[in-house]
């Protein structure tokens, strides 16, 4: 029994941190998919860029980790806003297949650019000393770094709740996600909302890429390598369902960790079997209302 509880604690703690990073990276795509109806397959590129910029700021500018991360997030969010107004705005009214091809092309441009700029090898972020220790939780030694990831994930969830449920901007964003045409008819500047949402989404992806580099190592193929797991969160959450994405990311993170723990040889495939079953039963998302 003691061994079982120890295994359960390991799966929940490690799967929870994995899910927290998945949520931070994916929630921006969930949000923009609901608003823009564009399957942005280049979303992972913004996460990779956030991680690489953090390393660049630390190694070249000598910035502290806790300074480099927010600066990288702000830079990527600004780039996201610029990209939305200059590139993505042209994708809204074209066929979905063209949207997919164009965003995949953007992802491969990032892959090539990262390889040329940083080389083909895996980059590691040097964590500050305060994050390198461990603490005892539920009878197990647990890295402080993972506690930090859980804390950041919780703060992001709290921030979403405050913005979406307690502010006028959140109300406008919910209206635009639910019915874009109706929102425009009521005088909401949907184009501005979309740009802000896209910037926030790319900034969050950058945050996930930067602080999650210990779980998702940075390499030029990052935008493609982790695209599948990001899209799993989006598909199971449903269009624009941010609250659902919190639960989905945690379920996927814990289920994937449990499968790899108990079935190390097959665990990597188990999550995909679960996803196929979930999509077959709930094609509109795990928590979407059934028509």
Q: What is the pTM of this model?
A: 0.89
Residue 130 counted as domain residue = no
Residue 289 counted as domain residue = no
| 154-199 tens-digit pLDDT | 999 999 889 888 888 888 877 877 777 888 888 888 888 889 989 9
Residue 250's domain comprises 1-123+163-281
Task: Count the domains in the chain.
Answer: 1
The pLDDT profile of the chain, 291 residues, written as one tens digit per residue, is: 767 777 888 888 899 999 999 999 998 888 888 777 788 999 999 999 999 999 999 999 999 999 999 999 999 999 999 999 999 988 888 888 999 999 999 999 999 999 999 988 888 888 899 998 888 877 778 899 999 999 999 999 999 889 888 888 888 877 877 777 888 888 888 888 889 989 999 999 999 999 999 889 999 999 999 998 888 888 888 767 788 888 999 999 998 888 888 887 776 777 788 888 887 887 777 776 655
DSSP string, 197-258: HHHHHHHHHHHHHHHTTTTS-B-TTHHHHTHHHHHHHHHHH-TT-HHHHHHHHHHHHHHHHH
Alpha carbon distance 281, 284 (integer Å): 9
Q: How far is CA 51 from CA 98, 215, 227, in A?
A: 29, 12, 16
Residue 286 counted as domain residue = no
Alpha carbon distance 199, 56 (integer Å): 21
Angle CA(103)–CA(88)–CA(101) in degrees, nearest 5? 20
Alpha carbon distance 109, 128 (integer Å): 32
Residue 43 counted as domain residue = yes
Residue 194 counted as domain residue = yes
- Asked if residues 263 and 270 have their Cβ atoms less than 8 Å apart, the reply is yes
Residue 85 counted as domain residue = yes
Residue 288 counted as domain residue = no
Residue 142 counted as domain residue = no
């Amino acid at each position: 029994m003691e061994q079982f509880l120890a295994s359960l604690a390991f799966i929940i703690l490690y799967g929870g941190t994995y899910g927290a990073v998945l949520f931070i990276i994916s929630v921006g795509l969930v949000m923009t998919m609901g608003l823009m109806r564009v399957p942005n397959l280049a979303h992972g590129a913004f996460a990779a860029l956030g991680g690489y910029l953090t390393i660049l700021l630390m190694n070249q500018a000598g910035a502290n980790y806790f300074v480099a991360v927010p600066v990288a997030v702000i830079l990527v969010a600004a780039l996201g806003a610029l990209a939305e107004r200059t590139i993505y705005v042209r994708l809204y009214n074209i066929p979905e297949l063209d949207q997919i091809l164009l965003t995949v092309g953007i992802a491969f441009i990032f892959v090539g650019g990262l390889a040329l700029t940083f080389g083909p090898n895996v980059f590691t972020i040097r964590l500050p000393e305060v994050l390198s220790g461990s603490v005892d939780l539920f009878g197990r030694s647990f890295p402080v770094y993972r506690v930090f990831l859980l804390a950041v994930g919780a703060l992001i969830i709290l921030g979403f709740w405050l913005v979406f449920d307690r502010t006028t901007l959140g109300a406008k964003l919910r209206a635009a996600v639910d019915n874009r045409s109706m929102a425009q008819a009521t005088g909401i500047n949907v184009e501005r909302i979309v740009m802000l949402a896209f910037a926030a989404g790319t900034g969050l992806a950058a945050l996930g890429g930067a602080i999650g580099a210990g779980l998702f190592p940075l390499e030029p193929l990052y935008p493609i390598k982790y695209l599948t797991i990001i899209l799993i969160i989006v598909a199971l959450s449903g269009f624009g369902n941010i609250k659902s994405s919190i639960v989905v990311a945690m379920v996927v993170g814990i289920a994937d960790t449990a499968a790899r723990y108990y079935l190390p040889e097959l665990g990597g495939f188990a999550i995909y079997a679960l996803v196929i079953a979930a999509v077959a039963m709930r094609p509109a998302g795990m928590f979407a209302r059934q028509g």
